[in-house]
């Protein structure tokens, strides 16, 4: 199976919370990342979490890590139309060998 898996699409209403989920297979992953890709642009790092943490919060973003289940999630509070983009989950082992999911396209409806 794929190293990093995530659902391809998510649609929410403006003002609601969005939760994007990701699973990974490499139990030796030391860093887990969330990147955002807007149309016509490269990937922009949103946040990352070290594998010995279970939660990280940064303004509207909350990352939850369940290391036992190898499950990562990104919660965006009060989702805005500007949050519409593709969100990539990625894992790496000691900063090397970064593996990306296929990306989740988030659509925010007014």
Chosen residue from 12, 14, 26, 48 binding another protein by CB under 8 A: 48
Q: Does 43 engage in binding with another protein (CB under 8 A)?
A: yes
* Centroid of chain to Cα 84: 13
What is the side-by-side order of every strand in the sheet holding 4-6? 4-6, 18-24, 71-76, 61-66, 55-58
Q: Which range binds another protein by CB under 8 A, 12-20, 63-71, 77-85, 101-109? A: 101-109
Chosen residue from 33, 76, 91, 108 binding another protein by CB under 8 A: 33
Q: CA-CA distance, 71 to 65, in Å (whole number)?
A: 6
102, 1 Cβ separation under 8 angstroms: no
Q: Does 98 engage in binding with another protein (CB under 8 A)?
A: yes
User: How many residues belong to the site for another protein (CB under 8 A)?
Assistant: 20
* DSSP letters for 39-64: TTS-EEEEEEEETT-SEEEETTEEEE
Q: Does 56 engage in binding with another protein (CB under 8 A)?
A: no
Q: Does 100 engage in binding with another protein (CB under 8 A)?
A: yes
Chain residues that interact with another protein, rule: CB under 8 A: 4, 8, 31, 33, 35, 40-45, 48, 50, 88, 95, 98, 100-103
């Amino acid at each position: 199976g794929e190293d990093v898996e995530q659902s391809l699409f998510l649609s929410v209403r403006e003002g609601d919370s969005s939760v994007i989920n990701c699973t990974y297979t490499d139990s030796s992953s030391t860093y887990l990342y969330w990147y955002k890709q807007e149309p016509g642009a490269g990937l922009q790092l949103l946040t990352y979490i070290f594998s010995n943490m279970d939660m990280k919060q940064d303004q509207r973003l909350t990352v939850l890590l369940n290391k036992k289940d190898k499950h990562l999630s990104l919660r965006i509070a009060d989702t805005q139309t500007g949050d519409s983009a593709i969100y990539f989950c990625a894992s790496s082992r000691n900063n090397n060998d970064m593996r990306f999911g296929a990306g989740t396209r988030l659509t925010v409806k007014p």
